[in-house]
Amino acid sequence: MTDTTHTTAEGGHGTAETIHYTADVAAVLPDGRVLLIERGHAPYAGLLALPGGHVDSGERALAAAVRELHEETGVLVDPDSLVLIGVYDEPGRDPRGRYVGAAYLARVPAGTEARAGDDAASVHWVDLDNLPEQLAFDHHLVLADARRILSGH
């Protein structure tokens, strides 16, 4: 793939980069536990992460979030119930290149069962107030923002 030059809004020139679009879901039980997957593949194989993945061509991020949550954990949610947590676009947030991710909050009912599928080696319900020190990507930031939404701030 060849980078191209483009003109910026300020009139300068820059190098265009390929940007990958992803969607992640923080599925949270009423007791405050969040569903995390153990990544089965690089990058971050073995670390816990939010369920999520690439937005497919012609797909909206919201639909990708619902699809990825279901593929990786077996949990199915109504797209209308998801709340946008935020858009995460810090350069370097993914070692594979430039990734921009939309993250969503899903409040799921008590007793929701999850099973590992697709890219997930295993699934875990983890207390939002007692997360592991290291999570994959920038998911600690996403979960901090999710906690703020859940607490009403």
pTM: 0.89
Question: Are the C-beta atoms of residues 61 and 102 closer than 8 Å to each other?
Answer: yes
Q: How far apart are CA 34 and CA 29, in angstroms?
A: 6
| C-alpha distances out from residue 72 to 11, 84, 131, Å | 44, 20, 20
DSSP state, 55? P
Per-residue pLDDT of 8-61, as tens digits, reads 455 556 788 999 999 999 999 999 999 999 999 999 999 999 999 999 999 999
Q: Alpha carbon 96 to chain centroid distance?
A: 15
Element housing 61 (H / E): helix 61-73
Per-residue pLDDT of 68-115, as tens digits, reads 999 999 999 999 999 999 999 999 999 999 999 999 999 999 999 999
